[in-house]
Structure 1
Amino acid sequence: MKKMRKIFAVLLTLAMVLTMSMTAFATSNANAGNDNIFGTANDTATITVTGIDNETGIQVNAYKVVEAKYEGTGSTFSGYKSLYPTVITQDMVKANLTTLSPTQLNGLANAVIANTSKTAIALSNTEGTTWTANVSAGTYLVLVSNTEAHSYNPMVVSAYYINKDGKTDISEGKVTLTTNVANAKKSDKPSIDKKITGSNGNDYGNSVEVGDTVNYEVTVNPIPSYTGSHPKFYVEDTLSAGLDFAKDNNNNAINPIVKVGNNTLVKDTDYTVSFEGRKLTVNFVVGSAYKLNAYASQSLTITYAAKVNSDAVVFTSVNTNDAKLYYTNDSKVDGNDDSTEKKTYTYTFEIGGEASGTTGIITKTGKDKGEENPLPGALFGLYKSGDDVTADTVATAADNAAYKTAKSDADGQIKFSQLKEGTYYLKELNAPDGYSVNTHVYTVVIDTTYNDNGTLASWSVTIDNDKTSTFTSKNDGTWEAAINGTNIVNTTLSSLPSTGGIGTTIFTIAGCLIMVTAAGLFFASRKRTNK
C-alpha cells in the first residue's frame, strides 16, 4: 500500500510539473504574439501582373500602399494598416484589396506620385506579358511608365495572409502568405471628352441667352507616356462666333485650370496656354520636353468658361464648341501623329422670326366691327420668370422692368430672339392709336429635348398651359414645324363704351330730365303756396 502511495505521489508530481510547463509555454506564445497567430515581418511572396508588353525602356514598379502590422519584434502578424489613409481609409483596408474603383485608383496613383519618400519595387518580365516581384506582406499599387505602344491603368495587387482553411479571417493558428494576380488594362490611344457643366440640357447640349456663361470640362484619358524626341500632346478648343472666352476685369481671357486627379498642374511648367481669337491651345510639351510621363495612364481635366455674345445664332443653326486632341502614336519617330475631337452644342430660340420659321406662334390682331386682322405697332414686354416674377406681379410691373420688348410688325408678328428654355410672361404695354390694350398676361414656356450627343431633337412653346407649337429636327438638318398659333386681340375704341363700361350718356340725359322735372315741381309747388 505504501508502494502505491509512492507511485501515486510521483505521478501527481509529474502531472503538476507538466501542467506548469504547459502554462508557461502558453504564456510565452501569448506574450510573443496575438492569440497564437504566426506570421513574421520576414515573410515574403511573389506578386504577379499580367498583360504588359515588354517594350524597350518600359518600367513596371510596385509601391506599397497597405502594410502588414506585427507585434513584438515582428514575430507575429496582427493586421493591416493603410499608408495613404486619405485615399484608402482604414475601414477599406482588408487582406486582399482589389475592389478600388477607377477614380480611387487614380486618386491613389496621384497620392503615390506626390509622395517624395516612396520606395519603388521593380517588377521583372518573367515570361511573355507576365511581370513579378518578391515582396513583403501588404497591398501594392503597380504603375507602368516609359511605354509608347500602350497606356496601362494603375492596378493593385496584394500579398496577404490566409489560415489553414484558406480564409483571410484569422483568429489563431499558423498563417501562410499568398498573393493574387493583377491583370493590366491597356489602351492603345487616348480619347477626349467634353461636357457642359451645370447644363440646363444634357452633358453635351444646352440653351442660353446673351450674357450667359457656359462652363466646360474637357477630359483626356489615358495620358500617354512618351520617351522619344518627337512628343506631341495638346488640346485645341475652338468657339463659334456666338461665344467668347470668359475674361477677367482687365479684359484678358481667363486661363483654364488643368488637373490630374486632385493635383493642379502648373502653367508654363507642366503646360503652356495660348489664345488666338476664339481658339484656345493647351500644350503639354514645354519647349521640347513632354511633361506628363509621371501621370501616364491617368486622366487629365481642363476646365474653362465662355460667354454668350450678341452673335449667338438661333436654333436653325447652332453655336458649337469643338475640342480636339492632337497626339503622336510613337514619339520615337517624327510624323506618326493622330487626333480625336468632341463637340458641344449651344442653342438659342426665337418666336416670330420668318427666317427661323417661327412666325404664327403669337400673332397680334385688331378687331373692328367684327372683323379681325393683323395689327402692327402694338408694343409688348417679355418678362423672365423668377422668385419675385409671376403672372400676377407682371400685371402691375413697370414697362422698363421687361426683359425684352418688341412691336408687332405688319403681319402682327411679335419677334423675340435669343431666348433660352424656361418660363416667360408676355404683356401688352401700348396699343396702336384707336385700339385698346389687351390686359391679359400670357404665360409662355419654352421646353427642349436633346439627343444623347447634345444636338437638339425638338423644342416647343406652351402658352397658358396649351402647347401650341412644336419644332422637330429632321435627318437632313431641317426642322418640321407644327404651329397652332395664339392670337392676342385688341378692340377698336370706337366700338367700346367711352369708359369701357355700359356708357354714361344715358345716365347724363336721365339725370338732366330728373333735375328739370324736380325744378318744375318745386316752382309749381311754390306758386300754389303763394296763392
Structure 2
Amino acid sequence: MTAYQLVDGTYSKEGKLTGYVLTDGTNMKLADPQNPTAGEITAIADYIEANPGQVQGQIMTLQNAETGTYTLQTEPGEYLILVTGSGSVVYNPAVVSVNVTDADRMSLENGSVDYLGWFRTGDTAYLKSSTTGLKKSVLSGGRKVSGVSASVGDTLDFVIDAMTIPSYSASYSKAIYQITDQLESGCFGEIRNLKVRVNGTETAPGADTWTVKYGEKKDSFELSFTDAFLRTHGTQSVEITYQSVLTGKAGLNFAENTNTAVLKYSNNPSDANGVKELTSTTYQYTFGLGANIDAEADKKDQIETGELNKVTRADGAPAYEKTETTYSGTGASSTMRSRHALQGAEFTLYSDAGMLQKVKEAVSDQNGRLTFTGLKEGSYYLKETKAPAGYASNEKKFHIIIGAQFREDGVMDRYTVTTKEMLADGSESEAGSAVYTSVPSVQEDGSVTNTVTRTETPAEILNVPLAKLPTAGGAGTFGFVLAAAGMSGGMIIWKLTERKRRR
C-alpha cells in the first residue's frame, strides 16, 4: 500500500496554512483539489503506473495484519492510495487527506510545528474492496466434488462457481472478467447445455451481458462478460454449468482425465490490460480390468494389471506369476502372465446380480487375461458364456467390486478390485483381490505423475478339458467302439454334471 501526495499545503512565515498547491512531479492537475473527480484520479494513477519513480510514494506500514490496518506518519495534504500485490482482492484507488484541525491556532513554537497537537490524527480510511474466487466441480450423486469415476459414455455435469463480480469503479478504464475452460483433448465429447447464472438468475448471452467462443472441437470455451454488465453487477455471484460425455479415448486407471477452468479479471485500475488469474481443475477417472495401470496414449512403458485369469491345469500349482510390483512411469513394461493360460474363453460382464443388463464382453487372451475397460467404481457381475473348444464351461458366477479413494483436490490415490464367487446359498466367498496405491505428484498444468505400488491375487477361473474319444481302424470293430464311445461319452457328461452340482 503506497501513498502518493497530490496536494501540499502552503504556509505563511508565521507557519499558518494559507492554501494548497499541486505536488511537483505528478504532472497532473486537479480542477478542484477539494473535490477530485474519478477521471482525474484515474489519469493520475495511470501516470504513476506508466512512470515508475517519477512520483515518489511513501510505503505505508502494516500495523495490524488481522484487521489489515496500514498507517503512515506524514505531513498535511491530499494523498492517492494505491494497493498492489493484493492477490485475488480488487481495490479501487482511494483519496485521503491529512488536515489541519485549526489553521488559526497553528503557529511556530521554538522553530517547529506541533504536528501532534495541531493536526488531526488517528483517522481511518477504509478502502473499498471486493474479492472473487473460482471453483471447478463435477457432480457425483448430487454433490459437487473435485474427483470422480465414470464409465465411458457417461454424461458428466460440470459446475464453475465461487465467483463474485468485483466492484469496478470509474477508475477502471476497462473491466475484464473472463472464464476459459478446457476439457482434456480427445477424452471428452462436445460441451453441451452451457448456462450462466448471475445471483441465481439464468442470464442469456448478448451484446450487453456475455459472449462465448468455442474451440474447434467444442471441447473448450472462452466466456467474457461485457464491461457495462460488470459495472452494474458488482458483488453479484456467477455460476456456469455445462455437460460433456466421457469418450473411449479416456485414460484408464491412474491416468487422470483433467478439466481445467481459468478466471482472468481486472485487479489494477492503472493497467487496462492487467489481469489476475485463478485456476481450478477437476479429475475424472475410468477403470480397466486387465489393463494398463496408468494408461496414457503417449506412454511407451506400460504395466498391465491382472485381476482375472482364465486357466486350465491338472497339477494344482498356482497359475499366475507376477513380474512387477512398483510402477513410476519410467519402468519397463510388464504383463501378468499365466503358466497355465487358457485362450479363447468368452465372458460377459453385467451391471446387475440377475445378469440381465450387459455391460461388456471379453475373450481371454494368450496370457489367460480378461480385459474390461471404461468402467466406473461400483459392483459388476461376471460369468463365462462360452468355453474354448475342447473344454468344459465353468458355471461359476462372480461379483466384482471396484472401489476408489480420492484426495481433497480430486486426485485419486488408491483403488481396489475385489472378486467374490457367488455361492448357491446366496453368500459370497473371496476369489481374488487387487490393491493399487499411488503417491501422486500434481504438476503446474494440473497433470499428475504417479508412483504406484500394487498387491494382486488374481481370481482364477478354471476350465478342464473334455475327455477325448478313442479311435480304431477296421469295419469289424467300428460299431463296437462307436457304441462304447457313446456310452463313455454319456458317463463323462454325467460325471461333469455331478461335479457341477456338488460345487
TM-score (norm 1): 0.54
Note closer, same or farther for the CA distance 1:354–1:214 as it changes in structure 2 (3 Å cut): closer
Structure 1 residue aligned with 2:358: 402
1:35-114 equivalences under 5 Å are 57=38
One-letter code aligned to 2:224: N
Q: Is the 8 A contact 2:436 2:455 kept in 1?
A: yes
Provide structure 2 residue ranges, at least 5 long, that are not aligned to the other structure.
1-34, 40-78, 80-88, 94-124, 295-302, 320-339, 421-428, 442-449, 469-488, 499-503
Secondary structure, counterpart of 2:463 in structure 1: strand
Structure 2 residue aligned with 1:279: 220
Provide structure 1 residue ranges, at least 5 long, that are not aligned to the other structure.
1-53, 59-127, 129-146, 152-182, 247-252, 505-531
Structure 1 residue aligned with 2:184: 240
* C-alpha displacement of 1:367: 2.5
2: CA distance, partners of 1:354 / 1:341: 30
Note closer, same or farther for the CA distance 1:238–1:55 as it changes in structure 2 (3 Å cut): farther
* C-alpha displacement of 1:347: 0.1
One-letter code aligned to 1:216: F
Structure 2 residue aligned with 1:470: 435
1:367-516 equivalences under 5 Å are 367-368=313-314, 373-384=340-351, 389-390=352-353, 393-394=354-355, 402-464=358-420, 466=430, 468-475=433-440, 477-494=450-467, 497-501=491-495
One-letter code aligned to 2:398: Y
Aligned residues: 315
Identity rate, percent: 27
Structure 2 residue aligned with 1:360: 306
Secondary structure, counterpart of 2:409 in structure 1: coil
Structure 2 residue aligned with 1:328: 266
* C-alpha displacement of 1:333: 2.6
Note closer, same or farther for the CA distance 1:424–1:271 as it changes in structure 2 (3 Å cut): same
Q: Is the 8 A contact 2:90 2:130 kept in 1?
A: no
* C-alpha displacement of 1:374: 1.1
Q: Is the 8 A contact 1:350 1:358 kept in 2?
A: no
One-letter code aligned to 2:457: N
2: CA distance, partners of 1:195 / 1:185: 33
Structure 2 residue aligned with 1:218: 160
Structure 1 residue aligned with 2:239: 301
Note closer, same or farther for the CA distance 1:429–1:493 as it changes in structure 2 (3 Å cut): same
2: CA distance, partners of 1:405 / 1:225: 57
Structure 2 residue aligned with 1:198: 140
When the two chains are superposed, the root-mean-square deviation of aligned CA atoms in Å is 3.3
* C-alpha displacement of 1:189: 4.3
Note closer, same or farther for the CA distance 1:454–1:421 as it changes in structure 2 (3 Å cut): same
Name which one, 1 or 2, has greater alpha-carbon Rg: 1
Q: Is the 8 A contact 1:187 1:222 kept in 2?
A: no
Structure 2 residue aligned with 1:254: 192
TM-score (norm 2): 0.57
2: CA distance, partners of 1:456 / 1:500: 50
* C-alpha displacement of 1:359: 2.7
Matched, 1:263 2:257: no
* C-alpha displacement of 1:261: 2.2
* C-alpha displacement of 1:266: 2.2
Secondary structure, counterpart of 2:495 in structure 1: coil
Q: Is the 8 A contact 1:245 1:305 kept in 2?
A: no
2: CA distance, partners of 1:185 / 1:404: 62
Note closer, same or farther for the CA distance 1:432–1:201 as it changes in structure 2 (3 Å cut): farther
Summarize deviations over 1:414-441 as a string: whole Å, max 9, x none. Answer: 0111111010001111111111111111
Q: Which has the higher helix share?
A: 1
Structure 2 residue aligned with 1:108: none
2: CA distance, partners of 1:189 / 1:211: 38
Q: Is the 8 A contact 2:129 2:167 kept in 1?
A: no
